[in-house]
Chains A and B, each alone.
Chain A
Amino acid sequence: MERRLERIDRGIKARASGVFALSSWREMLYLSAPRLIPALGFLLLPLVLDNYWQKVLLSMAVFALLAISWDILAQTGMISLGQGLFFGLGAYCSGILNHSLGLHPLLAVPVAAILGGVISTVVLLPVLRLRGVYFSMVTLIIPLMLIRIIEATKIFGGTEGLSGIAPLPSKWVELYFILSVLLAALFGFRRMLSSDYGLVLKAIKDNDLSVINAGINIYWYKAQALFIAGSLGALCGAFMTHVYMFVGMPVFALDYSILPIAAAVVGGPGTLAGATLGAAILVPLSEILRGIGGLRIVFYGYFLVVFIVVLPEGIFHYIERKYHQFDRWVEVE
Chain B
Amino acid sequence: MAEGPILKVDRLYKHFGGVQAITELSFELAEGELLGLIGPNGSGKTTAVNLISGFVKPSRGAIIYRGRDITGLAPYAVVRLGIARTFQMVKPFYQLPAYKNMIIPLYSPRVKQMIGGRYGDRDAVALDLLEEVGFERDSQVAYKSASVLPQGYLKRLELAKAIALKPDLLILDELFSGLSLAEVASIVPVIEKLRKEGKTIIMIEHRLKELFRIADRVVVLNYGMKIAEGKPEQVMETEEVKKAYLGVEV
Contacts and interface: CB of A to CB of B under 8 A. Distances in A.
In the complex, are there CB atoms of A and B closer than 8 Å?
yes
7 contacts: A196-B103, A196-B106, A199-B104, A212-B55, A215-B77, A215-B105, A217-B77
B143 A216 contact: no
Interface of A: 4-5, 8-9, 12-13, 196-197, 199-200, 202-203, 206-207, 209-218
Given A196-B107, A199-B100, A217 B91 contact: no
B212 interface: no
Q: 4 nearest interchain CB pairs?
A: A215-B79, A214-B105, A215-B108, A215-B110
B40 interface: no
Contact of B75 (A196, A206, A207, A212): A212
Contacts of B161: 210, 213-214
B93 A206 contact: yes
Contacts of A216: 76, 104, 107-109
A200 B96 CA distance: 11
A210 B104 contact: yes
B179 to A, nearest CB: 20
Main SS of chain B's interface residues? helix
Contacts, number: 93
A214 B107 contact: yes
Given A196-B103, A213-B87, A13 B123 contact: yes
B172 to A, nearest CB: 13
Contacts of B85: 213
A292 B100 CA distance: 48
Contact of A207 (B55, B91, B122): B91
B80 A215 contact: yes
A8 B124 contact: yes
A314 to B, nearest CB: 16
Contacts of A4: 137
A217 B104 CA distance: 12
Interface in B5-59: 53, 55
Given A213-B87, A216-B76, 10 more contacts: A202-B96, A207-B93, A212-B76, A212-B79, A213-B79, A213-B85, A214-B76, A215-B80, A216-B108, A218-B76
Contact of B96 (A5, A8, A206): A206
Contacts of B105: 214-215
